Amino acid sequence: MSHLTDITENFGTLYHPKSALVFYRADENDQQMYVEHFDMDKRGCLINAHPLTEREASQLAKSLRVATEKKQPFLKSQTIMGSHILQIDPIHNGVVIWFTKAMKREMYFSENLGIPNGTAHVPPLLWVANRNRLFIYALRTDRRPTEKTMLYHAPFFNVSSDGCVCMGSVDVRIKKTASLEEFTTAWEHYFFNSYFSHLMNGHNPVKGNCVSIWKHVIASDEAFPKEVLEKSNKTLKTLLK
DSSP symbols for 9-61:
GG--------EEEEEE-SSTT----EEEEEEE-TTS-EEEEEEPPHHHHHHHH
Domain assignment present for 151: yes
The answer on 134 and 91 residing in a single domain is yes
The answer on 97 and 38 residing in a single domain is no
**What's the confidence (pLDDT) of residue 86?**
96
CA 103 to each of CA 60, 68, 75, 92, 143: distance values in angstroms, whole numbers, following the listed order: 46, 38, 25, 32, 14
DSSP-assigned letter for residue 68 = H
Domain assignment present for 176: yes
Residue 19 structural domain? 8-70
The answer on 134 and 27 residing in a single domain is no
The answer on 226 and 121 residing in a single domain is yes
Each residue's pLDDT tens digit in the chain (241 positions)?
Answer: 455 555 555 545 556 677 778 777 777 766 677 778 777 787 778 777 777 777 777 776 666 555 444 556 778 888 888 999 999 988 767 899 999 999 999 999 999 999 999 999 999 999 999 999 999 999 999 999 999 999 999 999 999 999 999 998 788 888 888 899 999 999 999 999 999 999 999 899 999 999 999 999 999 999 999 999 999 999 999 998 7
The answer on 91 and 44 residing in a single domain is no
Which residue, 41, 70, 99, sits at the end of a domain? Answer: 70
Which among 171, 172, 168, 199 has a CA at the least distance from the CA of 183? 172
Domain assignment present for 34: yes
Domain assignment present for 28: yes
CA 84 to each of CA 76, 90, 128, 167: distance values in angstroms, whole numbers, following the listed order: 15, 17, 12, 24
Which residue, 20, 44, 70, sits at the end of a domain? Answer: 70
The answer on 145 and 35 residing in a single domain is no
The answer on 55 and 151 residing in a single domain is no
**What is the rounded CA–CA span in Å between residue 226 and residue 233?**
17
Domain assignment present for 80: no
**What is the rounded CA–CA span in Å between residue 53 and residue 206?**
60
**What's the confidence (pLDDT) of residue 117?**
97
Domain assignment present for 125: yes
**What's the confidence (pLDDT) of residue 92?**
66
Domain assignment present for 75: no
**What is the rounded CA–CA span in Å between residue 58 and residue 69?**
16
The answer on 152 and 95 residing in a single domain is yes
Task: Determine how many CB atoms are found less than 10 A away from the CB of residue 134.
Answer: 19
Judge whether 187 and 129 are in contact, CB under 8 Å: yes
**What's the confidence (pLDDT) of residue 67?**
44
DSSP-assigned letter for residue 145 = P
The answer on 184 and 110 residing in a single domain is yes
Q: How many domains does the chain have?
A: 2
Contacts for 52-55: CB closer than 8 Å, 24+ residues apart: 52/21
DSSP-assigned letter for residue 112 = G
Give the count of alpha carbons within 13 A of 17, CB side only.
Answer: 13
The answer on 113 and 48 residing in a single domain is no
**What's the confidence (pLDDT) of residue 200?**
94
Give the count of alpha carbons within 13 A of 123, CB side only.
Answer: 24
The answer on 141 and 64 residing in a single domain is no
Domain assignment present for 225: yes
- This prediction has a pTM of 0.71
Which residue, 43, 70, 97, sits at the end of a domain? Answer: 70
The answer on 182 and 219 residing in a single domain is yes
